[in-house]
Amino acid sequence: MFEGLTALPADPILGLSAAYKADTNPNKVDLGVGVYKDEQGNTPVLRAVKQAEQAYFNTENTKVYIGPPGSAAANTLLQNLIFGADHAAIKANRVRTIQTPGGCGSLRDAAELIKKANPSATVWVSDPTWANHIPLLGNAGLAIKTYPYYDHASKSVNFDAMMETLSKVGKGDLVLLHGCCHNPCGADLNQTQWQAVAQLALKNGFTPFIDMAYQGFGEGLEQDAYGVRLMANTVPELIVSSSCSKNFGLYRERAGALSIVYASAADADKGQSNLFSVVRGMYSMPPNHGSAIVETILGSATLTAEWHQELAEMRDRIKALRALLNKKLIEKGAPGDFNFIEQQSGMFSFLGINKAQVQSLVQDYSIYLVDSSRINIAGISLTNVDYLAESIVAVLKQKD
């Protein structure tokens, strides 16, 4: 049965991780894997999570299934975090949220529901976008097309080209947008641009589909939700995939949510019944532990305050590292302007170097990043930033 299969190449990120681990260079730097790291290079369990886990352990009295939608309380708390508890769409009973196996599970659940609702739908994704968007959505059978997003020359959003392409997208199709902290480029839409996209969606009738993987990692929990809340105020239908991997540090627990804003409460009930059918046919029931921790934190004023503080610490550290890397590149005499690194948001940025220069960083300096030159800012530390900047400058000054 399986003898006809052809071996596939390793995932480039996972391959980089393996190469990094095998490298014996004491100066090696891992800028590939997209997880938050502290100054020591660890991805810690948050203090609020530790406390919530202990509290939940002391009160949990069953391991019975929680049902396809997951915990109703956790879903309400996450829904309020994303939209705001007083959002008009919530008050009109037009929003439904389910618990999913991480952000990936949310995206795939959404894709399967879209396929049921409109098999001919096309999902438009940004160029570039997170590498896993295309298989998660495309493997459900949805057509995928791209719209221009990042201008590598200006190191910013190519908004005019983006809007020109999206102006041709009509009813029945979806446009996938990054809610904040764009992965992989770090360049986000500003509020004026969000408003323009929202009005275009309303005019043309396409459905916004927002991936909200980094709420709180950009400017703050409320600020990062601007686009989602604006869209929910503007268009009749909206899909939001969210993840608790980054902002709660619950990577391996696979805690996420899928929230859908429907045109009416009646549509919401119908959509939810179909979504339950999708879940039942894929994984039957979601995992519980990660969402239970989120529910415990968001259900406690004390733990929520602790979590807000930790989230601010992570966000401020990333911003400081962006500024520090730019400063060090200037000090080391880097040719070119790297101010864009400070102007972008979240964990990722493109360095803007070519593939050969990336390979030189990997092979000659043990600095691990993907061929696109995307770097994880959180992989930088006070102890490696000088070596990193010196290595980047050396590669930039190499003669062809």
Q: Which domains does the chain have, with CATH numbers?
A: 12-44+309-396 (3.90.1150.10), 65-299 (3.40.640.10)
Among residues 109, 173, 211, 224, the one annotated as catalytic is 211
Among residues 30, 37, 130, 188, the one annotated as catalytic is 130
Quick one: pLDDT at residue 34?
A: 87
Burial (0-12, 13-18, 19+ Cβ within 10 Å), 210: buried
- Read off the amino acid at residue 146: T
Whole-angstrom distance, CA of residue 365 vs CA of residue 303: 42
Quick one: pLDDT at residue 33?
A: 85
Contact 183, 215 (CB under 8 A): no
The answer, yes or no, to whether the previous bond of 128 is cis (omega within 30 of 0) is: yes
Question: Exposure string (b/e) for 75-100, b if CB count within 10 Å is 16 or more?
Answer: bbbbbbbbbbeebebbeeebbbbbbb
The structure tokens listed for 282 are: 């894929």
The structure tokens listed for 215 are: 């709420």
Per-position pLDDT tens, the chain of length 400:
999 999 988 777 777 888 889 999 999 999 998 899 999 999 999 999 999 999 999 999 999 999 999 999 999 999 999 999 999 999 999 999 999 999 999 999 999 999 999 999 999 999 999 999 999 999 999 999 999 999 999 999 999 999 999 999 999 999 999 999 999 999 999 999 999 999 999 999 999 999 999 999 999 999 999 999 999 999 999 999 999 999 999 999 999 999 999 999 999 999 999 999 999 999 999 999 999 999 999 999 999 999 999 999 999 999 999 999 999 999 999 998 999 999 999 999 999 999 999 999 999 999 999 999 999 999 999 999 999 999 999 999 886 4
Among residues 37, 155, 246, 328, the one annotated as catalytic is 246
- Read off the amino acid at residue 31: L
Which of 344, 357, 187 has the alpha carbon at shortest distance from 367?
A: 357
Whether 86 is a known active-site residue: answer no
Q: Which residues contact 56 (CB under 8 A, 6 or more apart)?
A: 292, 293, 296
Whether 355 is a known active-site residue: answer no
Residue 146 phi, psi (nearest 5): -120, 155
Tell me the angle at which helices 191-204 and 159-166 cross, rounded to the nearest 10 degrees. 10
Which DSSP category does 156 fall into? E
Question: Exposure string (b/e) for 157-190, b if CB count within 10 Å is 16 or more?
Answer: bbbeebeebbeebeeebbbbbbbbbbbbbbbbbe
Contact 32, 16 (CB under 8 A): yes
Q: Is 87 helix (H, G, I), strand (E, B) or coil?
A: coil
* Total-model pTM: 0.94
Which of 5, 43, 32, 118 has the alpha carbon at shortest distance from 317?
A: 43
Whether 246 is a known active-site residue: answer yes
